[in-house]
Amino acid sequence: MSDIVGLLFFVFLGITIHEFAHAWAADRLGDPTPRYMGRLTLNPMAHLDPLGTLMFLVSLVYGFGIGWGKPVPVNPRNIRKLPIATGMGLIAFAGPFSNLLLASALALAFHFPLPLSFRGFLMAGVFANVGLALFNLLPLPPLDGFDVLMGIIGSFRTRTAYNLFRQLSQLEAHGPLILFALIAIDYILPVSILGSILGPPFRLITSLLLR
């Protein structure tokens, strides 16, 4: 029971920090939109989406936790310091990167001589935030990994890169459907597709942080 409570606490903390990091990165790159919309804050109520939170709680009952926070509004036209695609890629990467930083901080605390129950609480936080980071780095819209990929491709000034960028942009409208279909198929099949993709880096990162 304590593991579930710890997981929920750190998932919601991770989502809050994740969305704040998007807002902070956009603000630093010249877009004041998140600040004007009240998203440059660590108040969870500004970032937690009611439906996304409910989805996480319900899906957790079935053995996996899939949820989301409120997307941070960003106006790409306000990005002045970098090419738009590169700037959007960095703003997208800031979210998962913040989860990895939080996981690293929790792992550092984990190595202090603490009561066993509290160490388990911290371990749940490491697992939750590494999982959030890796899932969001999948290169599928609307996940952050898609914008990171587009930012990388958009930084190359070649015809090949331009054509690839344009072709991938056409997938953006269908991304949520593809993602939910993948999650549904993953739940039905005896072998987890997402587990096969995310499992190895998850185990590698958590083992490095907690060893």
Q: Which residues are catalytic?
A: 19
Give me the pLDDT at residue 83, please.
Answer: 87
pLDDT band of 117, cuts 50, 70, 90: confident
Pick from 76, 83, 94, 89: which is nearest to 23 by CA? 94
pLDDT tens digits along 70-88 = 899 999 999 987 889 899 9
- Mean pLDDT for the chain overall: 87
Mean pLDDT, residues 61-74 taken together: 73
Tokens 């996996």 sit on residue: 64
Q: How large is the average pLDDT for residues 81-110?
A: 94
Summarize the confidence of residues 117-122 as an average pLDDT.
Answer: 87
Asked if 141 and 176 count as a contact pair (C-beta separation under 8 A), the reply is yes
Kindly report the three-state secondary structure assignment for every residue of the chain: CHHHHHHHHHHHHHHHHHHHHHHHHHHHCCCCHHHHCCCCCCCHHHCECHHHHHHHHHHHHCCCCCCCECCCCCCHHHCCCCCHHHHHHHHHHHHHHHHHHHHHHHHHHHCCCCCHHHHHHHHHHHHHHHHHHHHHCCCCCCCHHHHHHHHHHHCCCCHHHHHHHHHHHCCHHHHHHHHHHHHHHHHHCCCCHHHHHHHHHHHHHHHHHHC
Taking residues 200-208, what's their average pLDDT? Answer: 94
Residue 74, CB-side half-sphere exposure with 13 Å CA sphere: 27
- Where is pLDDT greater, at 59 or 34? 34
Rounded-to-integer distance, Cα 69 and Cα 116, Å: 31
In which band, very low, low, confident or very high, does the pLDDT at 121 lie, cut at 50, 70 and 90? Answer: confident
pLDDT tens for each residue of 184-198: 787 777 777 888 888
Distance of alpha carbon 206 from alpha carbon 14, whole angstroms = 16
